Amino acid sequence: MTDNVTVISHPLVQHKLTLMRRKDASTADFRRLLREIGTLLAYEVTQDLPMATRDIETPVAPMKAPVLAGKKLCLVSILRAGDGILEGMLELLPSARVGHIGLYRDPATMVAVEYYYKVPEDLCERQIIVVDPMLATGNTAIAAVQRLKESGGRAIKFVCLLTVPVGLAAFRDAHPDVPVYAAGIDERLNDHGYIVPGIGDAGDRLFGTK
Ligand code: URA
């Protein structure tokens, strides 16, 4: 096991994950559950956002009240399955800026190939939260975070639904400064680089393309 990961063991997350894993879950259910888990993961991953105090007046009395210190957020979705988590996170973080990275896995080599990249210009000032349901071999996650660092990203967290020890280890070796948040750590990868037992192809299940 690696030490760069926080597993979100909240009962709601675990229950919803089980519902998503079932092969007979409909596209509509899978989509809704991924969005709901995205919202719950947003709650967990923002626990350490810096706070400040503001003077306000309630109907009864003035008070000094806690507010977010204004640390600017940027959510970065790895296309296309990342959008399922992104949607749920935006429910809770509606002002966050959003970036997209298009990467696909070459099925023969498992190497990540970039086809799209659009992120806010002021990445270096933002807390970046990268989202992708599956951290499998780690190749895509490693490439995405590398690209963000090259664009000036400094404070980066990676949020996924499922991962495996081998992918986590590869990611930690490449980016030891980037903590990973996951709803579960599964056993292994199969010969096609899919997580076992996993959820299957997250993009296909989210968009109903297979
Ligand atoms: N990508 C997926 O969609 N599923 C996996 O199991 C691994 C990578």
- The number of the ligand 1 atom at minimal distance from the alpha carbon of 204 is 3
CB 87 within 8 A of CB 75: no
As given in the structure block, the two tokens for residue 56 are 């306000």
Those residues whose C-beta lies under 8 Å from the C-beta of residue 135, and which sit 6 or more positions away, are 141, 158, 160, 162, 163, 164, 167, 168, 171, 180, 182
Instruction: Take atom 4 of ligand 1 and give the residue whose Cα is closest.
Output: 201
pLDDT at 175: 98
Task: Find out whether the beta carbon of 198 lies less than 6 Å from any atom of ligand 1.
Answer: yes
Alpha carbon separation from 169 to 18, 130, 148, 177, 196 (Å, rounded): 25, 18, 20, 13, 17
pLDDT at 1: 45
Place of tokens 């270096």: 124
pLDDT at 169: 96
pLDDT at 2: 54
Domain, as residue range, for 96: 5-207
Q: Which of 195, 196, 205, 206 to mutate to test the pocket of ligand 1 (most atoms within 8 A of CB)?
A: 195
Task: Find out whether the beta carbon of 136 lies less than 6 Å from any atom of ligand 1.
Answer: yes
pLDDT at 131: 98
Ligand 1 centroid–CA 129 distance in Å is 20
Domain harbouring 21, CATH code: 3.40.50.2020
Could you list the mean pLDDT of each consecutive 10-residue stretch along the chain, which spans 210 residues? Answer: 84 98 97 98 96 97 94 93 97 96 84 92 95 96 97 97 97 97 98 96 95
- The number of the ligand 1 atom at minimal distance from the alpha carbon of 196 is 6
Given CA atoms 174, 179, 183, 185 in this order, what sign does their dihedral have?
positive
Digit-coded pLDDT (tens) for 102-153: 998 787 887 889 999 999 999 999 999 999 999 999 999 999 999 999 999 9
Q: Looking at the 3D structure of the chain, how many domains does it have?
A: 1
Task: Find out whether the beta carbon of 195 lies less than 6 Å from any atom of ligand 1.
Answer: yes
Classify each residue of 168-191 as buried b or exposed e, where b means 16 or more C-beta atoms within 10 Å of its C-beta: bebbbeebeebbbbbbbbbeebee
